[in-house]
């Protein structure tokens, strides 16, 4: 069990135990849980509750050395709140805003144990203060319970597969990030380059990557993008490569996949929960929806027709193609033949599709 799930369980149990209302009223209050002070209670809610349940005196009289010793023993891995602004890098784990700290550390365990590094600060800036959203679902269901991993590509030791993507596909499903992590693999195999347009919506921060290569390799991640939380439908208009290729949907951002904080909310009948197991823990919703369209190769702007606008985009991109870093799938790709440059052959393909 991960520390976040353990803390979630501890917090749930603690709330139900027979602790006096006067004692609970002292959690949280100002004061570092790992330093002695004259006032009762301390500022880290989970740690304060654990210690005061162990020794009610710590929340009734003062936070003495015995309370500090209990905190050091009982509160390993609890780092919210802590020193440092949440959107600023600092050497200690956790940050000063409790709600933001709890959100980021629930998704990213590194920020709990090690330090509040560049990615923790980035995640705080991206996620804190944004309200969760609920998307309207329609389309074919993926028919995969989130504990099954049926559409998870070529996982080692797994009986798994990829989702076929016919033109006009509309699909919905769930993705989780732990126990085990569930990804969605969409097969985009073809004998020639093709243009596809995906419209994605999700209730969680999305990690999307386009991977080339078959099951036995070699494999190459052509690009990876991270999509903000609840930022509306996201369009990806891009050219697929010949051969075996896959679009993979998961939780996370461009820098780091999330491994915790989004538990599956369905009961696995083969491994039902024990009576004392904590409930599923998810800081966001689990659901996603996509629409996939097949476009003409020369429909650079993705409007469903090949015309003057596409010609303008092609001429503006004339010359050698400089790969964008980071990749931005919203930028038009005019290298229709995939030779690394936009030139006469691409113009010929466009005119043939006019």
Domains annotated for the chain, with CATH where assigned, are 1-78 (no CATH), 82-129 (no CATH), 140-295 (2.60.120.380), 308-352 (no CATH)
Cβ atoms within 10 A of the Cβ of 326, count?
A: 10
Q: Please list the pLDDT of the chain residue by residue as tens digits (354 residues).
A: 344 444 444 444 344 344 444 445 578 888 888 889 999 998 888 889 999 999 999 999 899 999 999 998 888 878 888 889 999 999 988 998 989 998 999 888 889 888 899 999 999 998 998 888 899 888 999 988 888 888 888 765 555 689 999 999 999 999 998 767 888 999 999 999 999 999 999 999 999 999 999 988 899 999 998 888 887 788 888 999 999 999 999 999 888 888 889 999 999 898 898 888 888 889 999 999 999 999 999 999 888 899 999 999 999 989 888 777 677 766 788 899 888 888 899 899 999 999
Rounded to the nearest angstrom, the gap between the alpha carbon of residue 271 and the centroid of all alpha carbons in its chain is 26
Residue 301 is predicted with a pLDDT of 87
Give 63: exposed, middle or buried? Use CB within 10 Å, 0-12, 13-18, 19+.
Answer: buried
Residue 159 is predicted with a pLDDT of 56
- Distance CA(296)–CA(349), nearest Å, equals 10
- Distance CA(112)–CA(337), nearest Å, equals 47
Q: Coil, strand, or helix at residue 109?
A: coil
Global pTM value? 0.80
DSSP annotation of 280 reads P
Residue 24 is predicted with a pLDDT of 53
Question: Which parts of the chain are beta strand (E)?
Answer: 140-141, 163-164, 169-174, 184-187, 194-202, 206-212, 220-227, 234-240, 245-251, 287-295, 319-320, 341-342
Residue 14 is predicted with a pLDDT of 44
Residue 21 is predicted with a pLDDT of 44
Residue 157 CB partners (closer than 8 Å, separation 6+)? none
Residue 16 is predicted with a pLDDT of 36
Single out the residue of 250, 268, 346, 337 nearest to residue 306, CA to CA.
Answer: 346
Question: Which parts of 175-286 are beta strand (E)?
Answer: 184-187, 194-202, 206-212, 220-227, 234-240, 245-251
Residue 323 is predicted with a pLDDT of 74
């Amino acid at each position: 069990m991960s520390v976040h799930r353990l803390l979630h369980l501890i917090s749930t149990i603690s709330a139900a135990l027979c602790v006096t209302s006067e004692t609970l009223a002292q959690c949280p209050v100002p004061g570092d849980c790992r330093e002695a002070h004259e006032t009762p209670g301390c500022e880290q809610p989970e740690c304060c509750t654990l210690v005061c349940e162990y020794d009610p005196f710590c929340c009734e009289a003062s936070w003495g050395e015995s309370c500090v010793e209990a905190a050091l023993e009982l509160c390993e891995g609890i780092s919210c709140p802590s020193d440092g602004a949440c959107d600023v890098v600092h050497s200690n784990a956790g940050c000063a805003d409790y709600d933001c700290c709890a959100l980021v550390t629930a998704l990213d365990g590194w920020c709990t144990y090690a330090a509040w590094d560049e990615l923790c600060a980035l995640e705080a800036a991206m996620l804190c203060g944004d309200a969760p959203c609920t998307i309207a679902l329609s389309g074919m269901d993926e028919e995969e319970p989130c504990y099954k991993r049926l559409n998870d590509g070529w996982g080692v030791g797994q009986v798994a597969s990829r989702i076929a993507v016919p033109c006009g596909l509309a699909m919905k499903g769930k993705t989780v990030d732990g126990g085990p992590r569930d990804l969605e693999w969409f097969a985009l195999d073809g004998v020639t380059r093709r243009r596809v347009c995906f419209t994605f919506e999700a209730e969680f921060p999305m990690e999307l990557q386009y991977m080339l290569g078959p099951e036995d390799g070699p494999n190459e991640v052509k690009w990876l993008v991270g999509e903000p939380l609840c930022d509306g439908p996201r369009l990806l208009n891009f050219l697929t490569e010949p051969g075996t290729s896959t679009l993979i949907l998961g939780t996370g951002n461009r820098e780091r996949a999330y491994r915790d904080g989004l538990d599956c909310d369905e009961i696995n009948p083969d491994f039902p929960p024990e009576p004392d197991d904590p409930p599923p823990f998810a800081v966001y919703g689990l659901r996603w929806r996509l629409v996939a369209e097949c476009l003409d190769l020369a429909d650079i702007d993705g409007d469903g027709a090949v015309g003057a606008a596409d010609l303008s985009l092609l001429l503006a991109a004339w010359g050698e193609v400089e790969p964008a870093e980071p990749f931005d799938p919203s930028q038009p790709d005019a290298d229709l033949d995939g030779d690394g440059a936009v030139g006469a052959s691409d113009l010929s393909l466009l005119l043939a599709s006019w």
